[in-house]
Amino acid sequence: MSTSSVRLSDAELPAALIDELTAAGLDPAAVHGSVVAALTEDLPGGSVDVTSAATIPAEARGRADFAAREAGVVAGLGVAAMVFHTVLGHDVEITDRLPDGTRVTAGDVVMRVAGPTRGLLTAERTALNFASHLSGIATATAAWADVLRGTRARVLDTRKTLPGHRALQKYAVRCGGGINHRFSLSDLAMVKDNHAIAAGGVVPAYQAVRAAHPDLPVEVEVTDLEQLRALLDVGCDRILLDNMDSPVMAEAVRITDGRASLEASGGLTLQRAREVAETGVDFISVGALTHSVQVFDLGMDLA
């Protein structure tokens, strides 16, 4: 396949890669669409990588190592592999790829690629953009999971994701040991403060959603213990404790006494995570896992 082309049908992708992404809870066709869109930013209108075309003979072949330049957790290496297959079709060999979710240290090789040198360099930045961003999410999530170890609390992501990349970002959270909150506005009803204001209070809002969608999970945000008690009295079994200090959260846990799951949210930091977890809450949600995470330092070097 020409290194200027990024049009490859899903049927031409390795079956093992499609199966891997499917097993990971991703839609291979959607991932491929994201890859093609990203490559098109570099190769608009079927253009070429002018630098590689000018400096590298068309027949040249090469090998390159993807390596971690810091310690962390890798994710998105399957997506990076899809980038190379999208640029080079079957004329690329990918070996020594670590499973997503693997903890690495600086200098560890996470994947090796071999094929036409022009194509490898054309695909390099897009592959690194995906893998570095997703590994950054996995690494940040793992830091929270490590701090929470030994408590009942689990770290949750949020819907504060990059438009169009939610499935990949939430996948990276899973790679780091976190769990996913809702994926959309329809798979769980989340009554926030504005809903409660519009409905006349947290209880009327909860009851309205429960009446409209009797089989759907419903979570309600509260800002004080009075709201918490009122929701428990009407049977709400998922409650978000918004911007509460640790002593108030501990009291909320005592009042709830197992009748509902409790999620802590609002301006939480890794430094405070253990303290919050030790109040007894079930979940800690962290928007920063996806909306402002630092990329993980990966590099590709020709061997």
Residues with a known catalytic role = 125, 160, 192, 221, 242
DSSP E strand boundaries for the chain? 61-68, 72-73, 93-95, 103-104, 109-116, 154-156, 189-191, 218-222, 238-242, 261-265, 283-285, 298-302
Buried b (16+ CB within 10 A) or exposed e, 279-299: bbbbbbbbbbbbeebeebbbe
CA distance linking residue 74 with residue 67, whole number of Å: 10
Q: Where are the alpha helices (DSSP H) in 89-192?
A: 117-148, 166-175
For residue 27, the SS3 value is: coil
CA distance linking residue 38 with residue 30, whole number of Å: 12
Let me know how long the chain is.
303
Q: Are strands 61-68 and 109-116 parallel, antiparallel or unpaired?
A: antiparallel
Based on its alpha-carbon atoms, the radius of gyration of the chain, rounded to whole angstroms, reads 23
CA distance linking residue 59 with residue 220, whole number of Å: 61
